[in-house]
């Protein structure tokens, strides 16, 4: 069911992107989408082979033992607080993927896409997904997220990340109003800017409140002024499928230094 909903959302967003693009794209869309779909396929295999077998038993055990900080709450409140805390700790994880050098080495694969659209939301290196598994297990154990709550949150987050990666020009007032609640395409466009001070903002994935609370929210960069990507990998030859798949495992250039 959730696969059909997520697939449907992707198709709708891609149709809207063609009608109302937010930023001019620099690479041919079919080539990029094919590349990002390859990542999505590898990511799906990684989730099936690594994440589900390790994380689901943790959620089942956590639920059966009554572990986690939400367990003392009434059931409806426990679900709401668990969803909030899962979303907040994903914000923290995203900050870590930028701040911890070996995690950035993996997360950079997501950022070197030279355009940003719904297909970018599916483009995470398998090594980054694998690295996130212990964090996910810790989230579940500490928060006390039951398997159904975890599944609900994962579907919501996937929908949210498809939406905010979309190259979709919402009316500016609507984008601004929505940015009080959820991450919007304009917000996330700033996070994918090739200027480091821009990238170091808008780290939320689901709810936008985490950036608001931490003072990391930015909406002051016009999308026309944004170059998407990472300066060290700004040429088409830098971002071919083979090079980007290999990127975590080869010597990397300093990300924010301009290419000579
Ligand atoms: Zn990021």
Question: What is the 199 CA–ligand 1 centroid distance (Å)?
Answer: 7
CA-based nearest residue to 36, from 14, 12, 4:
14
Question: What is the 203 CA–ligand 1 centroid distance (Å)?
Answer: 7
Q: What are the pLDDT digits (tens) for 141-187?
A: 999 999 999 999 999 999 999 999 999 999 999 999 999 999 999 99
Question: What is the 211 CA–ligand 1 centroid distance (Å)?
Answer: 13
- CA–CA gap between residue 76 and residue 3 (Å, rounded): 26
Helices 101-111 and 75-99, axial angle in degrees (round to 10) = 90
- Determine the average pLDDT of the residues in 218-231: 97
Question: What is the 120 CA–ligand 1 centroid distance (Å)?
Answer: 11
- CA–CA gap between residue 60 and residue 62 (Å, rounded): 5
Question: What is the 72 CA–ligand 1 centroid distance (Å)?
Answer: 34
Say yes or no to pLDDT of 97 above 60: yes
Question: What is the 38 CA–ligand 1 centroid distance (Å)?
Answer: 20
Instruction: Give this prediction's pTM.
Output: 0.95
CA-based nearest residue to 219, from 181, 195, 189, 182:
189
Question: What is the 194 CA–ligand 1 centroid distance (Å)?
Answer: 11
DSSP 140-199: HHHHT--HHHHHHHHHHHHHHHHHHHS-----HHHHHHHTTTB--HHHHHHHTBSSHHHH
pLDDT computed for residue 37 by the predictor: 97
Cβ-Cβ contacts under 8 Å for 143 (sequence gap 6 or more): 68, 69, 70, 82, 85, 86, 89
Q: What are the pLDDT digits (tens) for 99-130?
A: 999 999 999 999 999 999 999 999 999 999 99
Question: What is the 228 CA–ligand 1 centroid distance (Å)?
Answer: 12
pLDDT computed for residue 227 by the predictor: 97
Question: What is the 98 CA–ligand 1 centroid distance (Å)?
Answer: 6
């Amino acid at each position: 069911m959730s696969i059909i909903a997520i697939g449907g959302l992707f198709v709708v967003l891609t149709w809207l992107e063609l009608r109302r693009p937010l930023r001019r794209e620099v690479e041919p869309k079919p080539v990029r989408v094919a590349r990002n779909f390859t990542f999505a396929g590898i990511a799906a295999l990684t989730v099936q082979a690594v994440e589900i077998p390790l994380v689901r038993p943790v959620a089942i055990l956590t639920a059966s033992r009554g572990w986690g900080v939400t367990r003392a709450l009434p059931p409806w409140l426990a679900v709401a607080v668990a969803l909030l805390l899962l979303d907040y700790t994903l914000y923290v994880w995203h900050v870590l993927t930028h701040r911890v050098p070996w995690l950035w080495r993996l997360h950079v694969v997501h950022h070197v896409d030279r355009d940003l659209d719904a297909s970018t939301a599916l483009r995470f290196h398998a090594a980054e997904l694998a690295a996130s598994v212990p964090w996910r297990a810790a989230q579940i154990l500490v928060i006390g997220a039951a398997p159904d709550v975890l599944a609900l949150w994962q579907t919501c987050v996937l929908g949210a990340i498809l939406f905010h990666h979309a190259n979709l020009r919402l009316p500016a007032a609507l984008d601004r109003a929505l940015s009080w609640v959820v991450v919007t395409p304009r917000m996330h466009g700033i996070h994918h800017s090739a200027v480091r001070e821009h990238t170091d903002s808008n780290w939320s994935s689901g709810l936008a409140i985490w950036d608001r609370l931490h003072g990391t929210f930015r909406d002051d960069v016009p999308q026309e002024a944004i170059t998407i990507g990472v300066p060290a990998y700004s040429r088409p030859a830098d971002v071919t499928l083979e090079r980007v798949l290999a990127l975590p495992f080869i010597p990397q250039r300093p990300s924010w230094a301009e290419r000579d």
